[in-house]
């Protein structure tokens, strides 16, 4: 696309078409293997408490990611614009850690290894090291090719791959709902006491709130490439794309959860992948295995493309001297190598890092959205809340790894929801209140007047 083309604003029909395609692109980037296999197990384990459990899952697995995308659109071009409010060091190191953890060092190689172990090995029986290397090379080669031109991501994902993925998912969910005769049983121990809170944590573990901070820039730039102007038009387009993607995610999550509710003999399944494989086989016979394999491959490759695009966009913005395509090649090669080491190796290294980053990410999203309500910049609220969230998350991570637990456990176990890995919430809220008091004790030096928000008010015709 030339500069001349991007300078012409799309008409109404073109805007609607582009936003729908961007919505499908965003859905496909969110919807990876983990998103596929978590909801069915929730359906099994929640039993008769499925209603509140799936509501909790939708809050953290769909609603918060959508809010994060909107926050990125309103505030600036990427997560760095949000993170700078935590100070210079936080503003640089936190975004880098987010992109690396959900990119080439964890989520990106996970797409390759999950594709191989779930979609290839059960059908072909291939499980050798050589087979893994060959598959990883092909998988990330295709992902790199699809992500190589960022201005084409909307067309490649939103108009081609995602509709195929959604059709296959709807087919599997519909056939399972009408053909499987199982009934939900009693809730498992972790869901019996508080299914809503447990569902919240399960959705929290999808990592999509972190991914949303990275994917926001991809959606923003994709709409820019399609002619959306800076300001209100762009923010509204990104917001609508996020909302549509979130609704689609929610519907698919509910459907997959229902598969877990109707699968016969639910207690025999240890994970969602085995459950969905059996659901496909029971409803479509042996060809169902191929259908499920296609679902997994499409889910993983669309997420892989999105992650390559997002991380490459960010690091190209951070270091313009290195091109987007160079970063894309580097990240694809790193992910290919790591994916051959196996999922457990990847999880053991990156799992604690993800848990460390999540509290600060959620805090950052919440503060960004509520700041305009106060009519002023709440700088100390940002600083104190983000640092407390980060420090508390670090203590939780060390404790979970058994590093200094004798000292750390008594320090943090008093906080409500500690056992649900949400103990950071109350200390962070207290830090926010203290920071807010300090901010309001100072003279009102500046009123919140973000350029994006101003243009949204003025530019009502875009």
What is the rounded average pLDDT of the residues 416-445?
88
> For 256, phi and psi rounded to 5 degrees?
-65, -35
Answer yes or no: are the C-beta atoms of 276 and 168 closer than 8 Å: no
pLDDT of residue 9: 62
- 431/86 Cα distance (integer angstroms): 13
Query: Is 28 a residue whose pLDDT tops 60?
Result: yes
Residues of the chain with pLDDT > 90: what percent?
36
Q: Which residue has the tokens 């990119």?
A: 103
pLDDT of residue 460: 37
pLDDT-derived band at 250 (thresholds 50, 70, 90) equals: very high
Which of 65, 70, 62 has the alpha carbon at shortest distance from 251?
62
pLDDT of residue 189: 87
pLDDT per residue over 49-106, tens digit each?
999 999 999 998 999 999 989 888 877 656 888 888 898 999 999 999 888 888 888 8
pLDDT of residue 401: 82
- 122/245 Cα distance (integer angstroms): 31
Cα dihedral 352/353/356/359 (nearest 10): -110
Q: Where are the domains of the chain?
A: 12-341, 344-352+361-452
pLDDT of residue 436: 95
Instruction: Write out the two tokens for 425.
Output: 């919430």
pLDDT per residue over 190-235, tens digit each?
898 889 988 988 887 777 888 888 888 778 878 887 888 877 888 8
Q: What does the longest C-alpha to C-alpha distance in the chain come to?
A: 70
pLDDT of residue 301: 87
pLDDT of residue 4: 40
Residues of the chain with pLDDT > 70: what percent?
89
Q: Does domain 12-341 have CATH number 1.20.1730.10?
A: yes
């Amino acid at each position: 696309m030339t500069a001349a083309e991007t300078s012409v604003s799309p008409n109404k029909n073109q805007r609607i078409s582009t936003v729908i395609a961007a919505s499908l692109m965003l859905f496909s980037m969110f919807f990876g293997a983990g998103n596929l296999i978590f909801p069915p197990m929730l359906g099994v384990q929640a039993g008769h408490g499925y209603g509140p459990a799936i509501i909790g899952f939708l809050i953290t697995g769909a609603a918060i990611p959508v809010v994060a995308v909107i926050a990125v659109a309103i505030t600036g071009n990427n997560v760095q614009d949000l993170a700078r409010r935590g100070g210079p060091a936080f503003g640089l190191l936190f975004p880098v850690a987010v992109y690396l953890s959900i990119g080439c060092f964890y989520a990106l190689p996970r797409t390759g290894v999950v594709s191989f172990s779930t979609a290839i090995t059960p059908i072909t029986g291939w499980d050798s090291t050589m087979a893994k290397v060959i598959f990883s090379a092909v998988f990330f080669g295709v992902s790199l090719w699809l992500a190589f031109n960022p201005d084409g991501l909307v067309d490649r994902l939103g108009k081609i791959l995602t509709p195929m993925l959604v059709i296959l998912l709807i087919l599997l969910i519909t056939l399972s709902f009408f053909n499987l005769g199982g009934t939900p049983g009693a809730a498992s121990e972790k869901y019996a006491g508080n299914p809503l809170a447990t569902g919240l944590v399960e959705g929290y573990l999808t990592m999509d709130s972190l991914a949303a901070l990275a994917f926001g820039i991809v959606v923003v730039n994709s709409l820019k490439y399609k002619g959306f102007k800076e300001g209100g038009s762009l923010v509204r387009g990104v917001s609508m794309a996020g909302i549509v993607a979130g609704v689609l995610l929610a519907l698919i999550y509910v459907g997959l959860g229902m598969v877990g509710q109707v699968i016969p003999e639910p207690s025999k399944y240890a994970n969602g992948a085995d459950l969905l494989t059996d659901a496909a086989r029971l409803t479509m016979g042996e060809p169902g295995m191929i259908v499920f394999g296609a679902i997994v491959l499409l889910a993983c490759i669309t997420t892989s493309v999105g992650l390559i695009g997002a991380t490459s966009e960010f690091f190209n913005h951070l270091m313009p001297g290195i091109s987007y395509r160079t970063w894309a090649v580097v990240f694809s090669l790193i992910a290919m190598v790591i994916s051959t080491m196996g999922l457990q190796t990847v999880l053991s290294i990156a799992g604690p890092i993800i848990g460390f980053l999540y509290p600060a990410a959620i805090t950052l999203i919440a503060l960004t959205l509520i700041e305009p309500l106060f009519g002023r910049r709440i700088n100390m609220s940002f600083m104190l809340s983000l640092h407390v969230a980060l420090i508390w998350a670090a203590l939780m991570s060390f404790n979970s790894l058994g590093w200094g637990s004798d000292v750390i456990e008594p320090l943090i176990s008093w906080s409500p929801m500690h056992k649900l890995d949400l103990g950071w919430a109350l200390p962070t809220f207290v830090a926010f209140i203290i920071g807010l008091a300090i901010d309001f004790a100072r003279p009102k030096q500046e009123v919140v007047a973000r350029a994006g928000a101003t243009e949204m008010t003025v530019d009502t015709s875009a």
